[in-house]
Amino acid sequence: MNVLEELMNERWISKYRDRDRYYRIKDELGTVRDFLVEKLGYRIISNSSLVKLEKLPGEALPWMGVQEFKNPSDYALFCVILMFLEDKEAEEQFVLSQLTEYITASFPEGQMAWTVYTNRQRLIRVMKYCMKNDLLLIDDGNGDNFVTDMEAEALYENTGLSKYFVRTFTKNINSYQTVADFFQSEWLDMNEERGVIRRQRVYRKLLLSLGMYREKEQDEDFNYVKNYRSIIENDLEQFLDVSLQIYKSSAYLILGENGDLGRTFPARNSLSDAILLFHAEVRNRVESGELKPEINERILVPLLKLREMIRETRQKYGSGLTKAYREMSGREFEDCLIEELKSLDFLRIDAVTEEVQIMPVAGKIMGTYPERYLEQKREEGDTDADQ
């Protein structure tokens, strides 16, 4: 990977984790600094502990949350742990009971009782995320034992990196009510530079989303991509092995053979195969006239219709999927595929009406198994595709 890919793919590069890599990235920052600051409006933190690119999206999408967290309480607990670590010096040690006492005092009374098994589970889940991100180390004991034993102890060490996890805001955020408030505050002092704001938002969308879509008839961001296509391509190709593909109502960055830019689709797993097969089913129904794309190339169907289409996909091609997906119940398979499609922003579901928007990407990338392969699977006695 080159320096830009490494900065985009990692939360940060810490000297604690990889000293040689930290110094290499620090030395090469100058080659990408202008691009990151001017085109994306990103801030680079470079100090004696780490190098971090503060990556802010152009729009909020479901997959951008912490995938390890199960509910909003996990985020609240994580914030309290960050507050606890804020008062600790780098390399300062503490025991688990010190942390649990602090959390009990910081949460509203009764909301974090350690006699509740799920609360203990939640704490260990969040602690593991902290260790994964080098916010703390375990020096002795096993914190996992706390799940089954409230008296279990473990010795931890603060790395000092927690102070860099949350971005610094230029104003008090207590008045913010929606995600949009955070996006508006990002360019609060640049109201007169509308062109700069749009440019930075567009580059962020292209780099941090699996697809960029026209959201309305006169979408300024999408029009910017179409009007400045050659400039955008030239900027990106200087640093990344990518090409820009633009359609009537969507745009995508396509990675070349040497590209490495975070999450991509299709991934090398059976779930991606299932999505490609589902897209083929969508395409077949469009070609037969059963489904009709809207003017923005999106397909609107009720949630029940979506589930029926997924079932049909499994009936046709299930024998080619891995054993785990073949053995799932029909409902489990539907839920699994829907969640993955939502996280990729390949479909959107209205929580109230349960109307589904199948995004234009369904018509751009799809796959099928060769018929001879399916025949071979049937001959081998694998009948899951017909279940």
Q: SS3 letters for 329-371?
A: CHHHHHHHHHHHHHHCCCEEECCCCCEEEECHHHHCCCCCCCH
**First-residue to last-residue Cα distance in the chain:** 44
Per-residue model confidence (pLDDT) at position 374: 67
* Full-model pTM: 0.85
Q: Minimal CA–CA distance to 183: which of 61, 38, 58?
A: 58
Question: Would you state the pLDDT for residue 380?
Answer: 66
Instruction: Determine the average pLDDT of the residues in 299-310.
Output: 97
Give pLDDT, residue 20. Answer: 95
Report how far residue 284's alpha carbon sits from residue 279's, in angstroms, rounded to the nearest whole number.
Answer: 9
Whole-number Å distance between alpha carbons of 131 and 298 = 41
d(CA 270, CA 215): 31
For the cut 90, the answer to whether the pLDDT of residue 203 exceeds it is yes
Tell me which of 129 and 372 has the higher pLDDT.
129
Share of the chain above pLDDT 90, in %: 70
Question: Mean pLDDT over residues 230-253, rounded?
Answer: 94
Residue 158 pLDDT > 50: yes
What was the pLDDT predicted at 191?
Answer: 54
Cross-strand bridge partners of residue 157: 93, 137
Q: What is the mean pLDDT of residues 14-41?
A: 94
Report how far residue 347's alpha carbon sits from residue 361's, in angstroms, rounded to the nearest whole number. 9
- Into which CATH architecture does domain 72-164 fall? Orthogonal Bundle (1.10)
DSSP secondary structure, 47-93, as one string: -SSEEEEE---SS--GGGS-TT--SHHHHHHHHHHHHHHHTSPTT-E
What is the band of 135 on the pLDDT scale with cuts at 50, 70, 90? very high
Predicted confidence (pLDDT) at residue 320 exceeds the cutoff of 90: no
* pLDDT at residue 378 tops 50: yes
Q: Report the pLDDT value the prediction gives residue 379, as an integer from 0 to 100.
A: 67
Alpha helix segments (H runs only) across 107-210: 117-132, 179-186, 194-208
pLDDT (tens digit per residue) in 31-69: 999 999 999 999 999 999 999 999 988 888 767 788 899
Within 8 A by CB and 6+ apart from 306, the residues are: 338, 347, 356, 358
Higher pLDDT residue, 125 or 317?
Answer: 125
Identify the bridge partners of residue 14 per DSSP, sorted by sequence position.
50
Find tokens 């802010």 and name the residue. Answer: 56
In this predicted structure, the answer to whether residue 327 has a pLDDT above a threshold of 80 is yes
Identify the CA nearest to 166 among candidates 89, 285, 248, 80. 80
Question: Tokens 């109502």 identify what position?
Answer: 249
Mean per-residue pLDDT, 186-203: 75
Taking residues 341-356, report their average pLDDT: 93
Would the pLDDT of 188 be above 80? no
Residue 159 has pLDDT above 90, yes or no: yes
Q: Which of 226, 274, 250 is nearest to 363 (CA)?
A: 250
Report, as an integer, the average pLDDT of 263-267. 85
pLDDT score recorded for residue 385: 40
For residue 350, pLDDT beyond 70: yes
- Residue 220 in this model has a pLDDT that exceeds 70: yes
pLDDT exceeds cutoff 60 at 189? no
CA distances (Å), origin 283, targets 291, 340, 359, 364, 365: 9, 19, 12, 9, 10
* Choice among 19-33, 83-97, 109-123 with the minimum mean pLDDT: 109-123
Confidence of residue 168 (pLDDT cuts 50, 70, 90): confident
Residue 258 and residue 1 in contact, taking contact as beta carbons nearer than 8 Å: no
How many Å apart are CA 112 and CA 123, to the nearest integer?
Answer: 10
Q: What is the per-residue pLDDT for 192?
A: 45
- pLDDT at position 313 over 90: yes
Work out the burial of residue 217: count CB atoms within 10 Å of its CB; fewer than 13 is exposed, 13-18 middle, 19 or more buried: exposed
The residues near 204 (Cβ < 8 Å, ≥ 6 apart) are: 40, 41, 56, 57, 58
